[in-house]
Amino acid sequence: MIAFQYIDNQAALDALVAQYNEAELLVLDTEFVRTRTYYARLGLIQAYDGKHLALIDPLAVNDLSGFWALLTNPAITKLVHSCSEDLEVFANYGKCQPAPLFDSQIAAALCGWGHGLGYAKLVEQQLSISLDKGESRTDWLKRPLSAAQLQYAANDVYYLYQLYPALKAEVERQGRMDWVLEEGARLTAGRLDRPCGDMAYLKVKNAFQLTPKQLAILKVLAKWRLEKALSRDLALGFVIKDHGLIALCRKPPQNIGQLMRMNELTEQEKRIHGKELLEVMVTADVNNPPPAVDVLALRPGYKASFKVVKALLTAICDTHQVPEELLASKRHIHDFLQWHLDAQQGDLPLLLTGWRGALAAIPLQTLELSI
């Protein structure tokens, strides 16, 4: 049994924060629930500095500001594992991002232990301990939490602390600590920015198929949907699904009767949003539509250029023992080709910056691409 302190009052949290402020390393994890909401709903925070393992109840403690301040203390390294969703929680609830950030999943990949390792797999591989996954589907908003659920939560930070010394030593031996911290900073970048309503239409599936006039309608609809989702804390699809927005743009209804006959919208979508949808659609500036959604992958020469870049990056990965998923992912190559097509204007693509750029920038920029 792992010993922990359950923090459910302000005095206990304040005392804990004072202790953690003296730490050099703080292991972090969160438990949350996400069903219909835009943002995950925080149910529990786990933290461990090697001396004090705490399970913090955010439903019981009203003021977490002291704890959130720990996350930006530059003297404390924050240790996490596969932290993307945790970072979303920190941004939404704490309005902050942890720094400096050491993600053990990324570190394990960069030092050759394996790419994309789950926490339980990494613990089993390095510590020969098999973790119980039986509480993974817990409703973390329900109270009280059982002893088994609390132990499950404690495990997530306790064993990660045990993993850290060997993982850190191997990363440092290979001279890649700066790489790990760079990846941590990249993961947190932009997390505090509010989603941009004017650009929301670019994330709607099949937006590229629309005409300029239809795209102008989609722009105002997608912005409206995002604002509605944020104000009501609903996942986008629980406001209106993508295919419903596309249908409205392709054949815009002129009145509520036409809208009510659309099969692409659910009865609930029609009933709740029908009138408002019509009001939003007439605000579209069809005479000044947004730029067409350029699908780079459909352009002549894209596939051939992609293969050339992929082959080069694969060779670099083999030489430097770097997982292809971190250096030669489809997204990274696509962004590089987009930058190349845009006459090398705008922000540098990821492949030309940081540790990736140190490995790949010179050979990439000597390539002759046909796109």
pTM of the model: 0.92
CA angle (225 as vertex; 223, 226 as ends), nearest 5: 65
Asked whether 69 and 20 are in contact (CB, 8 A), the reply is no
Q: Which residue do the tokens 């947190």 mark?
A: 188
Task: Write phi, then psi, for 6 (nearest 5 degrees).
Answer: -95, 115
- Which part of the chain is CATH 3.30.420.10? 5-188
- pLDDT value of position 370: 76
DSSP state of 174: T
- pLDDT value of position 308: 95
CA distance 14 to 18: 6
Cβ atoms < 10 Å from Cβ of 65 = 12
Token pair in block for residue 259:
């809208």
Closest by CA to 100, choosing from 80, 122, 123, is 80
5-188: CATH topology is Nucleotidyltransferase; domain 5 (3.30.420)
CA angle (5 as vertex; 146, 40 as ends), nearest 5: 60
Class for the domain spanning 197-281: mainly alpha
Q: Which residue do the tokens 């005392």 mark?
A: 15
- Which part of the chain is CATH 1.10.150.80? 197-281, 296-365
Catalytic residues: 29, 31, 86, 152, 156
Give Cα separations from 216 to 28, 71, 207, 286 (angstroms).
44, 41, 11, 5
pLDDT average per 10 residues of sequence, the chain (371 residues): 96 98 98 94 98 98 97 98 97 98 98 96 96 84 96 97 98 98 97 96 95 97 98 96 98 97 97 97 97 78 92 97 95 92 83 97 90 70
Q: Is 267 exposed, middle or buried (0-12, 13-18, 19+ CB in 10 A)?
A: exposed
Please provide the CATH number assigned to the domain covering 296-365: 1.10.150.80
